[in-house]
A and B are shown apart, each in its own frame.
Chain A
Amino acid sequence: MSQVKKFLYVNRKAPYGTIYALESLEVVLIGAAFDQDVSLAFIDDGVFQLAKGQDTKGLGVKNFSPTYRALGDYGVTKLYVEKEALAERGLSEDDLMPVTYEDENDGFAEKPSLIFVDRAEMARVMAEQDVILSF
């Protein structure tokens, strides 16, 4: 008897400077095969992972930012982004790339995956999880 658990992947690191952001994404994609209730949280420098216009040609490393937009196809449709983390970094919601999913329970209507929450709401999201994986 399998039981669906709530998994939260907490992303706190900027992309490219360390391997954490890419590794988190890899684990999310692997974990998505297990039909659990998966959410992602972006706090602290993790919000930089979602910045639009990333171009890594000059670095010679893979630009993995388009992969976030594919998460919806894997049933990962809740990406919580902390408003305070954005503001502290001089970012607005418009500075992030659009991430959407097709809602199969609503005629495959395209809906936003990014959920902007304040720090108190993020704390509640964390508190209601069964498993938290930190990157």
Chain B
Amino acid sequence: MSTLHMVNKSPFERGAMQSCLEHALEGDGVLLFEDGVYGAVKGSAVTGLIENKAGSVKVYVLGPDLAARGIAGGRLIEGITVVDYPGFVDLVTAHKGTQSWL
């Protein structure tokens, strides 16, 4: 069974997202929320961290946090799925457990 990894810190300020992605196993999910959503944007200095795990882990991002920060859907890295709050709950229940990367 798989784990849902949760990242809520900016990847430009600390290494939480990078460490998460380097420890996530094949089939795991990674949810970016709060300041973590900045990691979902393409064309940045950290875009490669997620692109390198494409096909191995599934990456999700919380829509209301994107909207608050003015990030339009067209700026997301290919393959990332936007979820709303009910979708967040569905992800939690669909995985064996959750692991937070603060």
**Closest Cβ of chain A: how far from B31's Cβ, in Å?**
15
From the candidates A17, A48, A55, A57, name the one contacting B8 in the complex (CB within 8 A). Answer: A17
From the candidates A52, A55, A90, name the one contacting B67 in the complex (CB within 8 A). Answer: A55
Q: Tell me which residues across on chain B come within 8 A of A58, comparing CB atoms.
A: 63-65, 67-68, 84
B47 within 8 A of A: yes
- In the docked arrangement, what's the CA distance between A129 and B47, Å? 35
CB closest chain-A residue, reference B45: A88
Q: Is the interface of A mostly helix, strand, loop or mixed?
A: loop
B68 and A63: CB pair below 8 A? yes
User: If A51-B71, A58-B63, A59-B65 touch, does A14 touch B10 (CB 8 Å cutoff)?
Assistant: yes
Q: Tell me which residues across on chain A come within 8 A of B69, comparing CB atoms.
A: 14-16, 48, 51, 54
B60 within 8 A of A: no
Interface residues of A in 44-84 (CB under 8 A from B): 44-45, 48, 51-59, 61, 63, 65
Q: Tell me which residues across on chain A come within 8 A of B21, comparing CB atoms.
A: none
Q: Tell me which residues across on chain A come within 8 A of B75, comparing CB atoms.
A: 90
